Amino acid sequence: MATERLYRSNYGEIFGVCKGIAQWRDLPVGGVRLVFILIAVFTAIVPCLLVYCVLGIFIPANPNEKPSKSDENGDWNNYKRREKRSYSSSKAEYGTYENVSDDDNEQLRRKYEDLKKKVEDMETTVLDKENDWDARFSQSDSGDAK
């Protein structure tokens, strides 16, 4: 969906400049972002960031833009990410804790116990090495005192 006029996107990542350019020229958003990143890297970052910020300030926001559910211009991932952040959709999408089965609880409990055991093993390994070094230093200090 190419637009006639260049607008900033209301649903872009940072200022919506790359997404606005992508919509204006009907390009994939990822490609436009990659070009901006490459230009930033090859121009010592600061000049490109200044131009990007100026574009973000002076390009008007798109007054008619609505979040897209399609894969148009790579917008689908951003839409899904924003959808999961809202509180109303999270309750409907994920349900409540009451819907968790006993098998799921048992599986989580086993995973928790396995992880807990791994952490305890790592702690004992670290503490054993630490105690070993403490013993070596205390022996060398007592040997120097003689």
Residue spans of the domains in the chain: they are 17-94, 102-145
Q: How confident is the model over 98-122, as a mean pLDDT?
A: 84
The pLDDT tens digits of the residues spanning 41-87 come to: 998 888 888 888 898 898 888 887 776 654 454 554 444 444 444 44
pLDDT bracket for residue 38 (50, 70, 90): very high
Give the span between the Cα atoms of 56 and 72, in whole angstroms: 22
Which tops the pLDDT comparison, 17 or 72?
17
Predicted confidence at residue 9, as pLDDT, reads 83
Tell me what the pLDDT averaged over the chain comes to.
76
32: how many CB neighbours lie within 10 A of its CB?
21
- Please list, residue by residue across 80-92, b when 16 or more beta carbons sit within 10 angstroms of its beta carbon and e when fewer do: eeeeeeeeeeeee
Predicted confidence at residue 24, as pLDDT, reads 85
133: how many CB neighbours lie within 10 A of its CB?
10
Give the span between the Cα atoms of 92 and 128, in whole angstroms: 50
**Whether 31 contacts 25, CB under 8 Å:** no
Give the span between the Cα atoms of 128 and 118, in whole angstroms: 15
